[in-house]
């Protein structure tokens, strides 16, 4: 398991994670929820056959914490 470091950026964390992924064209990246954002960053660094994103967003700017509908979400309070 690769834990994020303190105030490490998403890009830096994705780069460290990508170092543990085989360098071939048969890799399939799969991410669920926040992991979907992580695999999108990793895909910028690794040539993957497919990227599968489950229950996530296309970009971290669309997470929803600025959306008033999510303002009181306990789940978002746990994440952030």
With tokens 């992924």, the residue in question is: 21
In degrees and rounded to multiples of 5, residue 30 shows phi and psi of: -125, 130
Q: What is the pLDDT of residue 80?
A: 36
- pTM, 2 dp: 0.68
Q: Which range scores top for mean pLDDT: 38-42, 55-59, 71-75, 76-80? A: 38-42
Q: What is the pLDDT of residue 71?
A: 46
What would the mean pLDDT of 18-41 be, rounded to a whole number? Answer: 88
**Residue whose C-alpha is closest to residue 45's, from 78, 20, 80:** 20
């Amino acid at each position: 398991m690769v834990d994020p470091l303190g105030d490490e950026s998403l890009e830096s964390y994705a780069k460290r994670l990508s170092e543990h992924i085989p360098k071939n064209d048969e890799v399939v990246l799969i991410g669920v929820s926040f992991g979907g954002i992580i695999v999108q960053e990793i895909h910028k660094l690794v040539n993957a056959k497919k990227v599968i994103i489950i229950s996530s967003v296309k970009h971290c700017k669309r997470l929803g914490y600025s959306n008033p509908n999510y303002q009181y979400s306990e789940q978002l309070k746990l994440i952030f």
